Amino acid sequence: MTAPARLADIAAQAGVSEATVSRVLNGKPGVAATTRQSVLAALDVLGYERPVRLRRSSAGLVGLITPELENPIFPALAQVIGQALTRQGYTPVLATQTPGGSTEDELTGMLVDRGVAGIIFVSGLHADTSADTGRYERLTARGVPYVLVDGYAPGVRAPFISPDDRAAMRLAVTHLAALGHTRIGLAVGPKRFVPVLRKIEGFARALKDQLGLDPRVVEEELVQHSLFTLEGGQAAASALLERGCTALVCASDMMALGAVRAVRQRGLEVPDDVSVVGFDDSPLIAFTDPPLTTVRKPVPAMGQAAVRTLLEEIGGTPAPHSEFVFMPELVVRGSTASGPSSRA
């Protein structure tokens, strides 16, 4: 229960003794079903949440499929989603893909076999433009409700929950341009992913608006694709530094940490010589060397929205099957500083 329910209030509302209320709340036997129902009804009327145990009949398992738990953004999202589900009486089943092990399809099959009430996919194949969306249509055909987080596949009729990747890039570019940087690079993952395409679009448009650069030139010279890992960020950053960038925007904090490493390998300093901006944010990012300036993904809002829309789907009152886009925010720490032009 969120607030300590006062036994006396509940007993008065239900017209039973406090001892009976106590027996019901603690799941003790020896209470008639009708009495039990009136106690639970009193709880509802008074606005108290039912104890988890007493909600189970109405709820079920809900699957949560994530790529991994090593990037701290995934456990952060899993924590928010798991807690929101538990509060509603659902049991979260966390299924994590493994390199060379279980794929998204295998995990989905396992969850469906378990009779899950619904599935939340985080950064799944719905974010991969090269993947077949038939798997989601088949899930719909089997009557399994689902919500897709951090990706978008036109044609799939389900709720989508995403951060505003384009706005994220605008926040980063505006900050760096204000610091006087004119040569800004973007280190991103493979081109087939929706969040990557959106970040490139937002990045190119922001550079056009702020510095008058031609979007085609930006895509050719200032965007570097790589893997979504620290080593991938390091490789992409090295290529961008070769091309004279004094500021690097990275598609994840892990990539940004790799970018910091690439800067240092060339005998340069962050942020004195090169500024670095990450994306995601999680508790430890404030303690990195240097503390990363980053665009914070709105994880609590996204996680709660994913659960809320899934429960609407499960309840048969689905929200419109569109995309719900959440605004990120720029967190300025110690990895960004004045660029060469403002210093000169």
Kindly list the residues in this chain that would bind its own copies in the complex (CB under 8 A). Answer: 2, 27, 51-53, 56, 61, 68-70, 72, 74-76, 78-79, 82-83, 86-87, 91-96, 98, 100-102, 106-107, 109-111, 113-114, 257, 260, 283-285, 287-291
Nearest-angstrom CA–CA distance, 38 and 342: 71
Nearest-angstrom CA–CA distance, 244 and 255: 19
Judged by beta carbon, residue 86 or residue 210, the one nearer its own copies is 86
Taking the complex as a whole, the smallest distance from the CB of residue 98 to its own copies amounts, in Å, to 5
Nearest-angstrom CA–CA distance, 203 and 262: 21
Taking the complex as a whole, the smallest distance from the CB of residue 34 to its own copies amounts, in Å, to 22
Tell me the DSSP string of 124-175: -GGGBTTS-THHHHHHHHTT--EEEES---TT--S-EEEE-HHHHHHHHHHH
Taking the complex as a whole, the smallest distance from the CB of residue 319 to its own copies amounts, in Å, to 25
Judged by beta carbon, residue 45 or residue 284, the one nearer its own copies is 284
Nearest-angstrom CA–CA distance, 327 and 312: 22
Q: Are 251 and 328 in contact (CB under 8 A)?
A: no
Taking the complex as a whole, the smallest distance from the CB of residue 5 to its own copies amounts, in Å, to 14
Taking the complex as a whole, the smallest distance from the CB of residue 210 to its own copies amounts, in Å, to 30
Judged by beta carbon, residue 215 or residue 291, the one nearer its own copies is 291
Instruction: Tokens 């992409």: give the residue.
Output: 236
Judged by beta carbon, residue 24 or residue 78, the one nearer its own copies is 78
Give just the sign of the alpha carbon dihedral 253, 259, 265, 269: negative
Taking the complex as a whole, the smallest distance from the CB of residue 245 to its own copies amounts, in Å, to 21
Judged by beta carbon, residue 150 or residue 280, the one nearer its own copies is 280
Taking the complex as a whole, the smallest distance from the CB of residue 93 to its own copies amounts, in Å, to 5
Identity at 70, one-letter amino acid code: E
Judged by beta carbon, residue 93 or residue 207, the one nearer its own copies is 93
Cis amide linkage into residue 195, ω under 30° from 0: no
Give just the sign of the alpha carbon dihedral 132, 323, 292, 183: positive
Nearest-angstrom CA–CA distance, 2 and 48: 7
Nearest-angstrom CA–CA distance, 302 and 43: 29
Judged by beta carbon, residue 39 or residue 78, the one nearer its own copies is 78
Taking the complex as a whole, the smallest distance from the CB of residue 337 to its own copies amounts, in Å, to 16
Identity at 237, one-letter amino acid code: A
Tokens read off for 34 = 């009708």
Judged by beta carbon, residue 27 or residue 244, the one nearer its own copies is 27
Judged by beta carbon, residue 103 or residue 140, the one nearer its own copies is 103
Strand order in the sheet with 146-149: 91-96, 61-66, 118-122, 146-149, 160-163, 323-326
Strand, helix or coil for residue 115 = coil
Taking the complex as a whole, the smallest distance from the CB of residue 102 to its own copies amounts, in Å, to 5
